[in-house]
A and B are shown apart, each in its own frame.
Chain A
Amino acid sequence: MTLPPLRGHVGLRAEAGRGPSREVVPARVTGTALDLSISLILLQDGVVNAAIYALLALAMVLLFTVTRVIFVPIGEFVSFGALTLAALEAGHMPGTAWLLVLFGLAAAVATLWAERRNLTTRIWLKTLGETIVLPAAIVGLVLLLAPLKPPQAVQVALALLMTAPLGLYMYATVYRPIAEASVLVLLIVSVALHIALVGLGLVFFGAEGSRTTALSEASLALGDLVVSGQALSVLAVTAALIAGLYLFFERTLIGKALQATAVNRLGARLVGISPAFSGRFAFGLAALIGTLGGILISPLTTVYYDTGFIIGLKGFVAAIIGGLVSYPIAAAAAILVGVIESFASFFASELKEVIVFMIIVPILLIRSRGALVLEDEE
């Protein structure tokens, strides 16, 4: 008899060669002993991936400190960002457009429901403007520009514009109503949102993977090592973003307000920093960084609708190593993760993921050492 298709989960991508990181380099060096030039290639590879993990780690630390949300769906922003850019490059209308409209509608309903007791004209206009008019305008712009195959910079801008606002709508729909719930509940909800988004990703982007053209075709020879322009642009963008975030947190009022919320939520509230504002801002920023990560990785590897999850988790491993609070440790840990992954793919490519995810265990043990749980949580 044929059994019904029970337990038909959206499995993790498993087929050979569909790993989220670059398969080109290990394939080229298979069967070779590890020498200096291969080490350098692996190192370069690791550092480039690490830069993207670092971006995601920073976004997660930012979001966790401000809202206590462990943002598992950041991986979907990576996938969606990359696939949106790929669609634009091919001259198609990206599926993100419909996602944007859908989530905008959901956010409109959720926001109006939350504000149902004080619905002034101003709130009506503001909500509808942000959640209905804005997505419509973006979709209109893309409809206008996409068939013209605009230059790459415009395509990147459009991809960011279409994907990042999803973060705002997710906050309004999913997280804001339970903003005061425990970290665990927020985590379970994050995981649920991730599951739903992967399903939506399959619907709107299809099962096919895509790869975009490199941001830069230039290359730089340093002795034996050839550094690709793409690698340099990834590192440059990451460095610029980290510097920008640093300036933002240290030099601007909004940055200081977010920092204040991270240090003491109640205290920040008492001095007039609205938690809803901080939450929205943090979600928007995290979504923007996630999308950017996707755009940066899209020329390096073939991205599928569910590739982002594993990439996001690696950023997450780094964030966890930093205790979800330390930016510098998280960034350093991301480099560690990237380099270990790169070398693991050379020595034991099948067990690469196992090795990467098991790094977390000793680190967590060290972090928890001596912290005997005697006082009650929550």
Chain B
Amino acid sequence: MSRAVSIPALVALLAAIALPLVPGVPTYWITVASYIGFSGIVALGIVVLTGVAGVVSFGQAMFVGFGAYTTAILTTRYGWPAFATLPVAILITGTLAWGIGAITLRLKGHYLPVATIAWNISFFYLTGGLDFFRRFDGISGIPPIAIGDFTFTSGGASFYYLTLAIVALLVVLTANLLDSRVGRAIRALRGGVLAAESFGIDTGRARILAFVYAAVLASISGWLYAHFQRAINPSPFSINASIDYLLMAVAGGIGQIGGALLGSGIVTIVREKLQDVLPHLIGTQGNFEAIVFGFVLILIFQFAPEGLMPYLRRLGGRLSRAVSPERPVVAAPPPARLPPERGTEVLGVADLRKTFGGLVAVDDIGFTVRAGEIVGLIGPNGAGKSTTFNLVTGVMPASAGEVRFLGQPVQGWLSRRIARLGLARTFQHVKLVHGMSVIDNVVIGAHLDGHAGAIQGALRLDRAEEERLFARARAAIARVGLSEYEQTIATELALGQQRLVEIARALAADPVMILLDEPAAGLRHAEKTALADLLRDLRESGIAVLLVEHDMDFVMGLTDRLVVMNFGSELAQGRPAEIQRNPAVLEAYLGSAA
């Protein structure tokens, strides 16, 4: 995600400031520009919610309505000044969004957008059906925004500048938020919930946070809108308006902050022009712009699902390329925790069992891994190795048996809770966040070492902590030998290098133990040697290592002990040399000698 300060952004800001100063610009265009600002704020929230966190909402207009109705009721009925209602609007919307999110965001996949449709329609009929909201007539006589004697008049330059200032502020806050610890947690949602959880990120919380943030932005837009129109009714907060906002974000480019403003600009202006032109062309009255917009949205998804922003970026070339900001290089911080004494038990597994219906995937497995030891878990495909990994890391609950980590029973724990004790892992199918640089991916591993929340992140009060986390990540990247690729987009690297990025991410967590799922797959010979050296180095520093691997040369030369599984149960345990001679193991791998 690019920082707010880039040359095109500055040019756009200056142009926006200059607009009312140009002689001869009609008030009409100032008004249109204000509307672009209102919708741009909502679309900005959708960028965070849908583009970054991957949650699709058809209900953003409802949150605009929360803000608008809050201020309308407080100002007209209780005589509050307009500015005093803004914090209340934010608070009410934030609380309601949190409640709605807590109920709705647990829903999977396509149920979620469906539920937001239901919420939005209910809100529409609720405001239209209750006297409290003045039904479909709506609330009129909303006072203008004023500070002392100065009034921000609708349609005038002052209101426009107020809108512009709020938009600029929110753009900066959003960019800051996305470039913070919480922002990375939200961005990690798209790279795989599983990976994020295994580094201690509470993904449910991250989703709700994105949802609340988008809702709060929408309510700020609603607050502005109410004081601009001076009268409101339910229809600008209907499901159709929600779809409009989604169209704006999608048309601009849903992954980028700039796309939100670009999209709302294009959609608002095009609608204005279509409303002028189409009835003349066709000769009758109708909602022609709705027809055009519907088909434009369909065409966007058929031909340019990324929106318009990527095209502009290509035109703009390097000027606005999304890169993480350079950070000062500081020495690696001291480890977050001291490794346990060499030889003490780190992981203890006893009688571990997992059944899926009648199938016994893991059948009473037991083994231990000690500090400063590399243990290999091997076996033919389908032996239950990955399931064992998932049971140990808390990805799925065991049917029976015990898992102890540093002497503490952890079976039944969620993976993010186990991660707090110092367990880090990699994945058989690499799970890195798409479009994010290597260093930003690796720093997710250090998530638990930080504490900054969303507000600290948005206000940049987290710099000292961020420096520490990034130093840790940088040290981890250097350790796997990828320093020159720090700023490269992680998913553009070769598969072997991506595996190393995953190992770096695990190291950034400063773990007591690392679980590696086929780390050598896809690596070239020289890379394998380097990886083996790295793992020996980790062993020397007292870290416990458990790895699943199919490359026998790699495993035999590296591990201290092996656990062999077949059909879910344990076939053998012992030193590599013993295992190589074990007749049962030979039969499982090579078939019966007879």
Top 6 closest A-B pairs, CB basis? A196-B294, A350-B129, A199-B291, A199-B290, A192-B297, A11-B235
A194 / chain B contacts, CB cutoff of 8 Å: 294
B592 within 8 A of A: no
How many A-B residue pairs lie within 8 Å, measured between CB atoms? 196
Nearest B residue to A378, CB-CB: B109
Q: Is the CB of A189 within 8 A of B128?
A: no
Does chain B have a CB within 8 A of A373? yes
Tell me, yes or no, whether B147 is within 8 Å of chain A by CB: no
A14-B128, A70-B114 as given contacts; A365 in contact with B106, CB under 8 Å = yes
Q: Does B241 contact A (CB under 8 A)?
A: yes
Q: Quick check: A6 and B297 within 8 Å, CB to CB? A: no
Q: A245 an interface residue at 8 Å Cβ cutoff?
A: no
Q: Mark A305-329, 1 if CB is under 8 A from B, else 0.
A: 0000010010011001000000000
CA distance A7 to B235 in the complex (A): 9
**B193 cross-chain contacts in A, Cβ below 8 A:** 373-376
Q: Report the minimum CB–CB distance from A376 to chain B (whole Å).
A: 5
Most buried by B among A189, A194, A373: A373
* Interface segment, one of A51-59, A154-162, A177-185, A264-272: A177-185
Q: A360-B118, A361-B103, A368-B111 are in contact. Are A7 and B236 (CB under 8 A)?
A: yes
Query: Is A128 close to B, CB under 8 A?
Result: no
Of the candidate stretches B167-175, B281-289, B505-513, B549-557, the one touching chain A is B281-289
Q: Determine whether the beta carbon of A10 is less than 8 Å from that of B290.
A: yes
Instruction: Say whether, besides A4-B31, A9-B235, A199-B290, A185 and B301 are in contact (CB < 8 Å).
Output: yes
Bitwise, B27-44 to A at CB < 8 A (1) or not (0) is 110011001000000000
Interface centre among B130, B291, B396 (most CB of A within 10 A): B291
Which of A78-86, A218-226, A235-243, A351-359 binds B? Answer: A351-359
Q: Is the CB of A199 within 8 A of B287?
A: yes
Separation of A188 and B113 alpha carbons in the complex (Å): 9
The 8 Å CB contact of A3, one of B229, B241, B295, B395, is: B229
CA distance A200 to B286 in the complex (A): 8
Q: Are B110 and A184 touching (Cβ within 8 A)?
A: yes
List residues of A (327-370) whose CB comes within 8 Å of B's CBs.
Answer: 350-354, 357-358, 360-361, 364-365, 367-369
Interface bin, chain B: 35 or more
CB neighbours of A7 from chain B (8 A): 35, 236, 241
Task: Report Cα–Cα, A310/B292, bound state, in Å.
Answer: 22
Which of B35, B122, B246, B268 touches A354 (beta carbons < 8 Å)? B122
Residue among A5, A184, A352, A358 with max Cβ neighbours from chain B (10 Å): A184
Complex CA gap A293/B449 in Å reads 59
A177 to B114, CA, bound (A): 24
The A interface, classified by DSSP as helix, strand, loop or mixed, is helix
Give Cα distance in the complex from A15 to B234, angstroms: 12
Q: Which residues of B contact A376 (CB under 8 A)?
A: 192-194, 431
Please list the residues of chain B having a beta carbon within 8 angstroms of any beta carbon in chain A: 27-28, 31-32, 35, 56, 58, 103-104, 106-111, 113-115, 117-119, 121-122, 124-126, 128-130, 135-136, 154-155, 192-194, 197, 203, 229, 234-236, 238-241, 243-244, 246-247, 250, 268, 271-272, 275, 282, 284, 286-295, 297-298, 301-302, 305, 395-396, 431
Known contacts A8-B287, A195-B291, then 16 further A-B pairs from the complex at CB < 8 Å, ordered by chain A residue:
A3-B154, A8-B275, A10-B287, A10-B290, A188-B301, A195-B293, A202-B286, A203-B291, A350-B135, A351-B126, A353-B129, A361-B119, A368-B107, A368-B111, A373-B193, A373-B203
User: Which residues of A, 1-23, contact B by the 8 Å Cβ criterion?
Assistant: 1, 3-12, 14-15
Known: A183-B110, A199-B287. A374 touches B294 (CB 8 A): no
CB-CB under 8 A for A375 and B111, given A12-B121, A192-B297, A199-B287: no
Q: A148 near B: Cβ within 8 Å? A: no
A196 touches B298 (CB 8 A): yes
B301 contact set on A, CB distance < 8 A: 178, 181, 185, 188-189, 192
Residues of A within 8 A of B113 (CB): 184, 187
Could you say which residues of chain B place their CB within 8 Å of the CB of A350? 125, 128-130, 135
Cβ–Cβ < 8 Å partners of B110 in chain A? 70, 183-184, 187
Q: Select which of B104, B129, B243, B244 is within 8 A of A351 by beta carbon.
A: B129
Give 1 or 0 for each of A75-108: 1 = CB within 8 Å of chain B CB. Answer: 0000000000000000000000000000000000
Residue of A nearest to B191 (CB): A376
A198 at the interface (CB under 8 A from B): yes
- Bound-state Cα–Cα, A367 to B286, Å: 41
Q: Which of B115, B271, B284 contacts A364 (CB 8 A)?
A: B115
Q: How far is the CB of A201 from chain B (nearest CB, A)?
A: 9
Residue from A1, A14, A195, A197 having most chain B Cβ neighbours under 10 A: A195
CB-based contact B108/A360 at 8 Å: no
Q: List 9 A-B contacts (CB under 8 A).
A: A1-B27, A7-B241, A177-B302, A187-B56, A192-B294, A200-B291, A351-B130, A373-B193, A377-B108
A368 to B109, CA, bound (A): 10
Separation of A82 and B286 alpha carbons in the complex (Å):
20
A369 to B294, CA, bound (A): 35
CA distance A185 to B301 in the complex (A): 8
Please, how many angstroms separate the alpha-carbon atoms of A376 and B108 in the complex? 11
A9-B241, A373-B193 are contacts. A185–B305 as well, Cβ < 8 Å? yes
* Cross-chain contact A196 with B290 (CB below 8 angstroms): yes
Q: A193 in the interface, Cβ–Cβ < 8 Å? A: yes
- Tell me the minimal C-beta distance from A350 to chain B in angstroms: 3
Q: How far is the CB of A180 from chain B (nearest CB, A)?
A: 12
Which residues of chain A are near B28, meaning CB under 8 Å? 4
Please, how many angstroms separate the alpha-carbon atoms of A177 and B303 in the complex?
Answer: 10
Known contacts A12-B124, A184-B110, A377-B108, A196 near B295 by CB under 8 Å: yes
Contact A199 B294 (CB under 8 A): yes
A11 to chain B, nearest CB (A): 4
Neighbouring B residues of A6 by C-beta, 8 Å: 31-32, 35, 268, 271-272
Who on chain A is nearest to B153 by CB? A1
CB of A254 within 8 Å of the partner chain? no
Q: Which of B31, B32, B291, B297 contacts A189 (CB 8 A)?
A: B297
**Does chain B have a CB within 8 A of A191?**
yes
A199 partner, pick from B121, B243, B288, B298, beta carbons under 8 A = B288
A299 to B294, CA, bound (A): 30
- Given A196-B298, A376-B193, A376-B194, verify A14-B234 contact (CB < 8 Å): yes
Say how far A365's CB is from chain B's closest CB, in angstroms.
Answer: 6
* Interchain CB contact under 8 A, B136 and A189: no
B63 to chain A, nearest CB (A): 15
Q: Is A134 an interface residue (CB 8 A)?
A: no
Chain A residues near B114: list those with CB within 8 A.
70, 187, 316, 320, 360, 364
* Set of chain A residues within 8 Å of B229, measured between Cβ atoms: 3
Alpha-carbon distance between A369 and B301 when the two chains are bound, in angstroms: 32
- A75 CB to nearest B CB, Å: 12
